[in-house]
Amino acid sequence: MDSAVAALLLREQGRRVRAASLKLWPGDDVRSCCSDDALRRARDCAHRLGLPFAEIDDEEPFRRLVVEPFVRAYLDGETPNPCADCNRFRLADLVARAAAVGAPWVATGHYARIVWRGGEPFVARPRHVRKDQSYMLWRVAPQTLAHLELPLGELTKEEVRHLAEDAGLPVAHQPESQDVCFATAGYRQFLRKRGVASQPGAVVDRSGRVLGRHDGQWAFTVGQRRGLRLASSEPLYVLERRGAANQVVVGRHDELMADSFVVRELDDRGLGEGRGLCVQSRYRAGAAAVAGVRRLGGGRAEVRLVAPVEAPAPGQSAVFYDGDVIVGGGVVDATTSAAAAGNRLRTV
């Protein structure tokens, strides 16, 4: 629906519009944005709008660049962000394909904005932040952003749905697709179908004391409380997952809190020393105020926070905002617990 309304708005501006959808993953789950049913709905919307339609087969690069790294990350003890990887690859691919047919712009239905600073394009939050999708666009390269338009950046979801209804689009009341389009039944079931087997291991505390057993560290999430099957006089939370040792580390909630963390694959588009910025380390989490950013070399940096927050999971995206504008990002690599002795970094 969002992409169809983006096309509608551009057509009403008098633009010459072509519609395209990417076939990224096999299957017929209606919750997936790239299922056969979703592609049929996209074609129906394009025809309703009088637009030429193309279906693009990108299954092989999607499997190689998004799905396989997703599986490896879970086995390594990380919690990946496949949507950020997907947006980087698919939007670059669409811009290249558009250029090949003489189209200078690619428009999508993301709720975000493109703003220009010093002659360069940046992603920014939308005017109405309830459906903010800017976080998932942080890995899109500037050369791709320069050819990207986001027509829904000024609209609410309700306004978009009304536009779809008024235009008689068949997707006006379509439920929203899942965040991870290829794992609509949940990542655990997806990993099992991909051949990831149960691997019993130890549940330990910070000191290494064994508290229980698990069937596979990849089935747990940092911050998880339920389903640990541990006898304890106080609530315990997953603090980290150790892929190589096949351990799940648990502890008190105060041990989960972090006043700094390390990122790798740093993308610095104006971080400076970090003061005055905010960083968002989960898609649906609020942003935390940054006290400072210290470069460690090799594309890594330590991020110090003004106040402790629940530790972000390794593998997640840490996205830096200057007001509403994304000025950098990285992949969470390590955390510092505010309760740890000496507040020293621990490597995950």
Establish if 86 belongs to a structural domain.
yes
Residues 12 and 91 reside in one and the same domain: yes
Residues 114 and 233 reside in one and the same domain: no
> What's the start-to-end Cα distance of the chain, in Å?
40
CA angle at residue 127 from 274 to 53, to 5 degrees? 110
Higher-confidence position of 30 and 339: 30
Establish if 64 belongs to a structural domain.
yes
Residues 207 and 277 reside in one and the same domain: no
Residues 205 and 323 reside in one and the same domain: no
Residues 220 and 261 reside in one and the same domain: no
Contact indicator for 323, 277 with CB cutoff of 8 Å: no
Establish if 7 belongs to a structural domain.
yes
CATH number assigned to the domain comprising residue 303: 2.40.30.10
Report which residue type is found at 276: G
Domain holding 279, by residue range, is 255-347
CA separation for the pair 255, 67 (Å, rounded): 32
- Per-residue pLDDT, averaged over 79-92, amounts to 95
SS3 32: coil
CATH number assigned to the domain comprising residue 207: 2.30.30.280
**Is 181 one of the catalytic residues?**
yes
| Among 216, 251, 286, residue at a domain's last position | 251
Residues 236 and 299 reside in one and the same domain: no
CATH number assigned to the domain comprising residue 8: 3.40.50.620
Establish if 77 belongs to a structural domain.
yes
Cα–Cα distances (Å) from 318 to 106, 114, 135, 229, 281, in that order, read 26, 19, 9, 31, 4
Establish if 192 belongs to a structural domain.
no
- Quick one: what percent of the chain has pLDDT higher than 90? 77
Residues 303 and 320 reside in one and the same domain: yes
Q: What is the pLDDT of residues 282-307, one digit of tens each?
A: 888 889 999 999 999 999 999 999 99
Establish if 179 belongs to a structural domain.
no
Residues 40 and 149 reside in one and the same domain: yes
Residues 300 and 324 reside in one and the same domain: yes
Q: How many residues does the chain have?
A: 348
**Is 83 one of the catalytic residues?**
no
Residues 149 and 30 reside in one and the same domain: yes
CA separation for the pair 319, 305 (Å, rounded): 13
Establish if 341 belongs to a structural domain.
yes
> In sequence order, which residues have a C-beta less than 8 Å from that of residue 145 and are 6 or more positions away?
114, 121, 122, 123
CA separation for the pair 146, 151 (Å, rounded): 14
Mean pLDDT of the chain: 90
- Quick one: what percent of the chain has pLDDT higher than 70? 93
Higher-confidence position of 64 and 28: 64
Find the catalytic residue in 34, 45, 86, 278: 86
Residues 161 and 277 reside in one and the same domain: no
Find the catalytic residue in 33, 34, 45, 181: 181
- Per-residue pLDDT, averaged over 94-100, amounts to 96
Establish if 275 belongs to a structural domain.
yes
Q: What is the pLDDT of residues 187-245, one digit of tens each?
A: 888 999 888 988 999 999 999 999 999 999 999 999 999 989 898 889 999 999 999 99
Q: Check the CA dihedral 92-93-94-100 and report its sign.
A: positive
> In sequence order, which residues have a C-beta less than 8 Å from that of residue 67 and are 6 or more positions away?
25, 82, 182
Residues 266 and 124 reside in one and the same domain: no
Give the count of domains, the chain: 3
